[in-house]
Amino acid sequence: MADRGDFNTVSSPISVELREIPGEAFPRLTPDMVARIAPFGGSDRFEAGVYLYEVGDREVDFFVILNGAVDVFESDGQGGHKLIATHRENQFTGELHHLSGRAVLVCGKATVPTSVIRLSRSSLLKLVSAEPDIGEIILRSFILRRARLLEHAEGGTVVVGNCRAGDTVRIQTFLERNGYPYRCLDTDVDVDARVAMESFHADADSLPIVVLNGVRVLTRPTNHDLAEALGITERLDPSHVYDVLVVGAGPSGLAAAVYAASEGLNTLVIEAIGPGGQAGTSSRIENYLGFPMGISGQDLARRAQIQAQRFGARFAVADAALRLDCTCYPFQVQLEGGGVVLGRSVVVATGARYRRLDIPEAQRFEGKGIHYAATSIEAQLCEGSEVAIVGGGNSAGQAAIFLSSRARRVHLLVRGDGLSATMSDYLVGRITQSSRIDLYTRSEITSLAGEGYLSSVRWRQHGNEGFEHEISNLFLMIGAVPNTDWLNGCVELDDRGFILTGDHCNSAPQSSPYATSVPGIFAVGDVRAQSVKRVASSVGEGSVVVHSIHGWLANNPVVRNVTGRLAGV
C-alpha cells in the first residue's frame, strides 16, 4: 500500500513493463482502424447531456467516437462525480469491467451532440479476436485505465475500520484481489475515519463499514454482499449448461479457463474470493518463465483473468462452490449464494490452504495478528515493527524478503535444519545475506500473548531455552490442507484429502493423468495428489487438461428431451 495524502490507496497492479507511455491509456485510433471496427457494430447518436452509461450499469456497450465528445466521470465519494477524461474523435470508451460485463465503475456523458460506433460486449470480443492490432490497443488501454483508477482512488468505495481487524483486512483483500479501487480509513489514526463514522451513524460495534459513492453504507458485509453491491458478481442463467466448469481461479484454474475458452469451449470459472489462489499472495515470483524481473502473483493472476475473459470465459466471484452433485449429468455445482450451475465437465482447481497453528492461543488471534498471506495490505501493518514467519517453502521465503523492506526485523522459523531442501536457492541466498532477517532452524512456536490483538510471540529452538519478542504480526505458511470438502464424496481422495487422479485412482486407472475416479471430472494443481507444488507446473496442468476435456465432451453430449429436461446421451 502507498500513502497518498491522508488516505491509504491501493498500489497499481501493473508491473514495470506495462507502465504507461503517455497517451496509451487514451489512444486515438487511425481512420483505417475505425473503418475496420465499423462492421462489428452499428451507428448511434447522443444529444448533449445524455448518458451513454452510468456507474453500476452492466453489460455496457463499447463506443468509438466519430465526432463530438464524451466525458468520463467517477464518483467523488460524496454523491457527486469527478472528471477522469474526455474522449474525442477516433477515441473509445471503456475499461476492464466493459470487457467482463460486470457493473462499471465510471459513467460516460455526451458533452455535445456526439456520433458513435456502438458495439455490444460480444461484438467487442469478436473484434479483439479478429483484429489483433486493434485488440492490443484496446486491451492495453483498458488495463492502464484500471491502473489509474487503482492508483488514484479518491472516491467511490471507502472502507472504514481498524486496519488490524480481520474483517477490515478481509474486505481490503477481496477488493484488491478483484482489482477494485477503494480507500481505507483507519479508525485508529485517521480523523476522516471518525468523521465518516459520525456522518453515517456507525459505532465501534458496526465496524468495518463500506461506503459506496458517498451514499450507501454496508455494515460488516460478507464478500458475497460486497460483490453484489458493487456489481462484481456475474448474472448466471441457472438453465445454461457450460462445456466446462472450472472451480478455483489459482494458476491451474486460470490456465484451464484460458485454454478452454480459446478453443471455443463455453467456460465458467467459480471463485470464492478473487483470482490468484495461494500464488496470488506472493509479492514477487522471480523464477516464472518469461519474466526476468519477476512478477507478483496477483499481477500474473489478473493478466490471466483478462486473457480468459478476452476469449469469452465468464467468472462467478465471491460465490464459492458449496457442493458437487456428480450423480446426475450434466454435473451440478451448488453455490454458497444458493444458485446452481450446470456443466458437462468439471475441472477441480481449488488448491490448498495453509495449516493453522496447533497451540491453544492460536484461535484467539485469528484475524487479530495472525496472517496467511503477505501482500501490500499486511505489509503496511508491519511498518517499522518486528514480525515472525513460520514456514520453509518458497511462499515463506518470498514473504520474508518482501516484509523485510517494511519491517524492522523479520524472524523466520523453520522446523528443519535449514532451507535448502524446501526453498529455491535464489531465495535462500537472499535470506542468508539479509541484515534484517534472522533464521531460526529446528524451531517451533510455544505461546502467543496479547490483549485483544497479538502483541508477543514465544518460540523454542532445539538446544536453547527459547525466545520471546514483541510481535504483533505472525505469518503462518506451514503445510497444506486441500480444499476438497465441497466435493461431497464424489471422487476418490488420498489419506490427506488430496484428489487421486490417473493411475493413482484405486477404482481403475484413468486415461488422463488429470482424470478423477468420476469420468468427466478432472483435477489440476495443488489439490491433486502427486502434483508438484509450483506455479509453472500448475499452469501446465491447467493447459494440458483441456485436451482430455475435448475427448470427454465429444463422447458425452447433452440434449433436451421432449419435456425440456436436460439429459445425457
pLDDT score, position 488 = 92
pLDDT score, position 466 = 86
pTM of the model: 0.88
Question: Pick from 323, 220, 328, 327: which is nearest to 270 by CA?
Answer: 323
With cut-offs at 50, 70 and 90, classify the pLDDT of residue 44. very high
Cα 159 to chain centroid distance, Å, stands at: 18
Q: What is the pLDDT of residues 432-461, one digit of tens each?
A: 999 999 999 999 999 999 998 999 999 999
Q: What is the pLDDT of residues 107-144, one digit of tens each?
A: 999 999 999 999 999 999 999 999 999 999 999 999 99
Q: What is the mean pLDDT of the chain?
A: 89
Contact 321, 488 (CB under 8 A): no
Q: What is the pLDDT of residues 188-241, one digit of tens each?
A: 888 888 888 888 888 888 999 999 887 789 999 999 999 999 988 888 899 999
pLDDT of 300 strictly over 90: yes
E strands, 339-488, where? 340-343, 346-348, 352-353, 370-371, 386-390, 409-413, 437-440, 443-449, 456-461, 467-469, 473-476, 481-482
Calpha distance 568→558 (Å, rounded): 5
Contact 322, 336 (CB under 8 A): yes
Calpha distance 525→543 (Å, rounded): 11
pLDDT score, position 8 = 35
The strand order across the sheet containing 386-390 reads 370-371, 473-476, 386-390, 409-413, 437-440
pLDDT score, position 480 = 87
Calpha distance 197→185 (Å, rounded): 10
Mean pLDDT of the region 396-411: 96
**C-alpha cell at position 423:** 526453498
What are the chain's domains? 2-15+42-151 (2.60.120.10), 157-230 (3.40.30.10), 241-353+481-568 (3.50.50.60), 360-476 (3.50.50.60)
pLDDT score, position 214 = 77
pLDDT score, position 559 = 60
Environment class of residue 526 by beta-carbon count within 10 Å: exposed (0-12), middle (13-18) or buried (19+)? buried
When mean pLDDT is compared across 72-86, 367-381, 428-442, 520-534, the lowest value belongs to 72-86
Question: Pick from 269, 330, 342: which is nearest to 304 by CA?
Answer: 269
Calpha distance 316→374 (Å, rounded): 25
pLDDT of 69 strictly over 70: yes
Q: What is the pLDDT of residues 228-284, one digit of tens each?
A: 999 888 888 999 999 999 999 999 999 999 999 999 999 999 999 999 998 988 888
pLDDT score, position 199 = 83
pLDDT score, position 232 = 87
Q: What is the pLDDT of residues 157-188, one digit of tens each?
A: 899 999 889 999 999 999 999 988 898 899 98
